Structure 1
Amino acid sequence: MPEYNYLTKEQREFFLEHGWLRIPNAIDKKILDKWMSDFWVRVGWDEHDKSTWKLEYLKMPKHHEILPSEFSPDAWKAMCEIVGGEDKIDKEREYLTGDNFIANFGSEYWKTHPHSVQDAKGWHTDNDYYRQFLDSSTNALTIINCFTDVKPGQGGTFLAEDGIKGIVDFLYEHPEGIDPPFSYLYRHLKNCKKFTTVEAKAGDVFVTHSLLPHSPSKNHLHEVRVITNPHVNLKDSYNLNRPSGNYTLCEQVILRALGRDSVPEFKPTRPREVYFPRTFTFKRARVQEELDRLVAAAKAKGLPVDSVDSIYLRGEEYIKEHEKRNGYDRPHGPGGLCLTPEDPVGKEFEKERMKVLGI
């Protein structure tokens, strides 16, 4: 039986019902402040002149990383208990938490134009790097670390709580698994009714089941919202047929959505595969320009170049280790790489897969 020393019964039941859990004030404030101190330098825009904010939405690379247990101790305790214990967690793949910010700036346009959850596009679950099966735990949890307040209307992430069922039903029916990208997995979202919009204080952490669909929302306040979305990867696949019935909370969410106590008949019919994360190219393209800005800012203060702290200034060996931890040494998947926002390669791959699937 999984041990619960941190999560209360109420928190466990909430996660099972909603697919997510908020841990308030969980991020170490010193780390949060340190990482946010060079946010605007990295972006290259004027914090106080919104006419310089060139994009509504920006995904950034990582310059710092730290153990999750140091970054957000209480949230880490919750994550460990949700997946069945710290020993289940892969301490290699994506293990370290970093400052790969996702910034939603909004715009003047969206200050006066409505946009509801029913209008949302881009519903997804975070998987651009492995073959997805019903029992896949390569990404078990998707985390939302809030580095700024997220007020109502400030671009908080949309969560589709009743969207998990459509995903697990599809994956159950397709034991051959699916390779990313697979936007067709979320066609049922148009019929979902149970939505939540993330609202938070800076320092809050949302722990979400990896099969909980989510989507960006529009920032109507034109005040920057900054989060990160790291993942918790497990060593082994979920066990959805435990004779004892002692399932982890992650496993229970899947079985509950299926309406089953177990699925002994489910067996993947193709090998499990892990790929290079196909959407990382956007972030990697920003590394050098952010480094240049950080170095220039240090020099402007009369500081030496080596005062700039970045993964990419720690030598080739460290960079190589970092890239391995994040799967950048993996082969490209059959869906290719996402090189532009339009992603023509991915769309063509999806089109062909949908023909095969009869969708």
Structure 2
Amino acid sequence: MVRRPLAAVLVTMLGRARIESFVERGLCVLPGAFTARQAAAARDRVWRRMAEKAGILRDDPATWPPGYDIEERLHTPEVLACFTGQVAAAVEELLGPGRWRGERSWGFWPVNFAHGADRPYGVPPYGWHVDGNWFRHTIDAPRQGLLLIGLFSDIEPRGGGTIVSEGSHRRAARVLAARPEGMTHLELFDAVLAEPIGNFREITGSAGDVVLGHPLLFHTRGYKHTGPPRFISNTETGLREPLRLDRADGSPYSILEQSIRAALSGPPPVFTDPLHCRF
């Protein structure tokens, strides 16, 4: 891996290796950010909400669709308890002290029961996107903040984990920098995916792990060939104001800002095992 120098930062929660992974690859992992018991309590609440909304019953697999998304934040005690101080400290370390809006809740729950179980296992060539269909994408957009993925169940290999394209955030940053007027969701997808992407990684881990992803990291839902239903939450960690990529006043750049500056000043990403993908 080619390492680019980072500006001086006060490394506390994550450590330099994780920060360098975030800048170069577009993500890092905070293991055990909440407990397996906390994850199970939150998972129980998601099961109850799926029953209320769609008649999806834990004890009746006949009611399980291949996948189901709860597109809402769940402001219940057992869910809120999983947004621990450790998670908040890691978010603030990447976004900058006082720059995060600070909402400590988990939202958007894509549950994977059997997505792609009828297909040969591999990297899905479709569904590739970045989050944020509710705003116009610009290089300094404050709305998303991070791609924050909380694992609320254990996810083993081939267990339906999110698939990410490491380094794709660097191509996306370069595309957006060339379009200062901004881009719609689909315009951004078309531009980034006009050429193959690669460096694919399946997100696996234990209930309670949290993935801190770059907001421009392309990802898709993985095929699920094994294990019980997969529970994760993708959460917006919005900023108080737009990113600043030219801090002429000498104020410190956040790690997120440094990552975008590195993407624009360095070479374009090189992808192993490239694949033509689409939304």
Question: TM exceeds 0.5?
Answer: yes
One-letter code aligned to 1:242: R
Deviation, structure 1 residue 233: 0.6
Q: Deviations for 1:91-141, whole angstroms, at most 9, x for unmatched residues?
A: 4xxx2313642100016x71x631322x33111111112221111122120
After TM superposition, the structure 1 stretch with the greater mean CA deviation from structure 2, 234-243 or 200-209, is: 234-243
Give the match for residue 40 of structure 2: 33
Structure 2 CA distance, aligned partners of 1:210 and 1:100? 15
Q: Residues 100 and 239 of structure 2 are in contact (CA less than 8 Å); yes or no, is this contact kept in structure 1? A: yes
Structure 2 CA distance, aligned partners of 1:19 and 1:68? 26
One-letter code aligned to 2:110: I
Give the match for residue 83 of structure 2: 71
- Picking from 160, 167, 175, the partner of 1:155 is 160
Structure 2 CA distance, aligned partners of 1:69 and 1:41? 17
- Picking from 17, 23, 28, the partner of 1:16 is 23
Q: Residues 107 and 236 of structure 2 are in contact (CA less than 8 Å); yes or no, is this contact kept in structure 1? A: no
Q: Residues 36 and 207 of structure 2 are in contact (CA less than 8 Å); yes or no, is this contact kept in structure 1? A: no
User: Match of 1:21, SS?
Assistant: strand
Q: Residues 68 and 76 of structure 1 are in contact (CA less than 8 Å); yes or no, is this contact kept in structure 2? A: no
Structure 1 CA distance, aligned partners of 2:252 and 2:59? 53
Deviation, structure 1 residue 245: 8.4
Instruction: Tell which has more relative contact order, 1 or 2 (C-alpha 8 A, sep 6+).
Output: 2
Structure 1 CA distance, aligned partners of 2:138 and 2:33? 32
Deviation, structure 1 residue 62: 3.6
Structure 2 CA distance, aligned partners of 1:248 and 1:155? 32
- Picking from 143, 146, 149, the partner of 2:151 is 146
One-letter code aligned to 1:36: R
User: Match of 2:167, SS?
Assistant: helix
- Picking from 185, 189, 192, the partner of 1:186 is 192
Q: How does 1:152-301 map onto structure 2 within 5 Å?
A: 152-182=157-187, 183-188=189-194, 191-221=196-226, 223-243=228-248, 244=250, 246-259=252-265
User: Match of 1:88, SS?
Assistant: coil
Q: Determine whether 1:101 maps to 2:112.
A: no
Q: Residues 69 and 76 of structure 1 are in contact (CA less than 8 Å); yes or no, is this contact kept in structure 2? A: no
Structure 1 CA distance, aligned partners of 2:198 and 2:112? 25
User: Match of 1:169, SS?
Assistant: helix
Structure 1 CA distance, aligned partners of 2:227 and 2:62? 11
TM-score, length basis structure 2: 0.80
Give the match for residue 45 of structure 1: 56
The CA RMSD measured in Å over matched residues stands at: 2.6
User: Match of 1:145, SS?
Assistant: strand
Q: Residues 105 and 222 of structure 1 are in contact (CA less than 8 Å); yes or no, is this contact kept in structure 2? A: no
Deviation, structure 1 residue 36: 1.7
- Picking from 95, 113, 116, the partner of 2:122 is 116
Structure 1 CA distance, aligned partners of 2:133 and 2:107? 19
Q: Residues 69 and 108 of structure 2 are in contact (CA less than 8 Å); yes or no, is this contact kept in structure 1? A: yes
Give the match for residue 59 of structure 1: 69
Structure 2 CA distance, aligned partners of 1:24 and 1:114? 30
Give the match for residue 291 of structure 1: none
Moved over 6 A (4+): 66-70
The structure that is helix-richer by fraction is 1
Deviation, structure 1 residue 69: 8.3
Q: Residues 35 and 207 of structure 2 are in contact (CA less than 8 Å); yes or no, is this contact kept in structure 1? A: no
- Structure 2, unaligned runs of 5 or more: 1-7, 267-279
User: Match of 2:171, SS?
Assistant: helix
Q: Residues 169 and 214 of structure 2 are in contact (CA less than 8 Å); yes or no, is this contact kept in structure 1? A: no
Structure 1 CA distance, aligned partners of 2:145 and 2:73? 21
Q: Residues 101 and 228 of structure 1 are in contact (CA less than 8 Å); yes or no, is this contact kept in structure 2? A: yes
Give the match for residue 88 of structure 1: 99
Q: Deviations for 1:164-196, whole angstroms, at most 9, x for unmatched residues?
A: 2221121111111123344324324x5122121
Q: Residues 160 and 213 of structure 1 are in contact (CA less than 8 Å); yes or no, is this contact kept in structure 2? A: yes
Give the match for residue 3 of structure 2: none
Deviation, structure 1 residue 246: 4.0
Structure 2 CA distance, aligned partners of 1:4 and 1:100? 30
Q: Residues 120 and 217 of structure 1 are in contact (CA less than 8 Å); yes or no, is this contact kept in structure 2? A: no
Give the match for residue 298 of structure 1: none
Q: Residues 23 and 206 of structure 1 are in contact (CA less than 8 Å); yes or no, is this contact kept in structure 2? A: yes
Structure (1 or 2) with the larger CA radius of gyration: 1
Q: Residues 105 and 219 of structure 1 are in contact (CA less than 8 Å); yes or no, is this contact kept in structure 2? A: yes
Q: Deviations for 1:302-321, whole angstroms, at most 9, x for unmatched residues?
A: xxxxxxxxxxxxxxxxxxxx
> How many positions carry a matched residue from both structures?
252
TM-score, length basis structure 1: 0.64
